[in-house]
Structure 1
C-alpha cells in the first residue's frame, strides 16, 4: 500500500526530531524527580510519546497494523497509571507528598474556626 502525504518530505522528520527532543526532556524529569508523583507523570508522558512515535512510523511506512500496537500500548499505559494511583493510596502520605490546605497547621497569628456542628446544621 502506497500513500502520498503532502509535506511528508520535511514534516515527518521534523515530527520525529521533536518527539526525540521531548523524550529527552521527559527523561531528565524522570531521573531528577524530585517526587515519586513526578516520576509517574514522566513515565506516562514517555508512554504517550512512544504512542505518537508508533503512529508517526505507521504513517511514514503506510502500515496500519502498527496502530494496533499503539492502541495496546495506550491501554497498558492507562492500567499502569491506575496501578500507581492505587499504590500511592495504600501507602498514605509519604515524606515527599505535598501538604494540602486541610493538613496545614495554622500560624501563630491565625485564628482557627471550629468545624460546624452537623447536628445544628440539620
Structure 2
C-alpha cells in the first residue's frame, strides 16, 4: 500500500479496511444475484461491517444481510458458503432440519466449507 508519508498508522489501517470492504462488496455483487436466483429469494439491504464473532447475519423480518468485513481475507468458496447460509435464512429462520436440507440441496459441500471457515480466525478483538 502506497500512502503519503504523513499518514498515521490509524489512517493506513482505515484505508486498508476500506479496500477490504470494497473487495468483499465486489465478490458479494457477483455471488448474491447468482444465489438469490437459485434459492428464489431476494435480500433487501446488504452491508459489510466489522463483526467480532460472526461471519454474517440475516434479519429475516426485513430481509437485510450483514457480512463480516474479515470475509474479504477468506477463500472465495468460504465466502460463497456464508452467502448461501445467510440467504437460506430467508427461507428458514432457524438452523433446523429444513434449513440444513436447503444447504444440503443447494451447496452439498457446505459442511466442509463451514469447517474450513471456522478453522480461520473471525477477526481481531480490539
TM class, shorter-chain normalised?
A: 0.3 to 0.5
Task: Give the alignment's TM-score, normalised by structure 1.
Answer: 0.32
Larger RCO: 1 or 2 (CA < 8 Å, sep 6+): 2
The structure in which a higher percent of residues are strand is 2
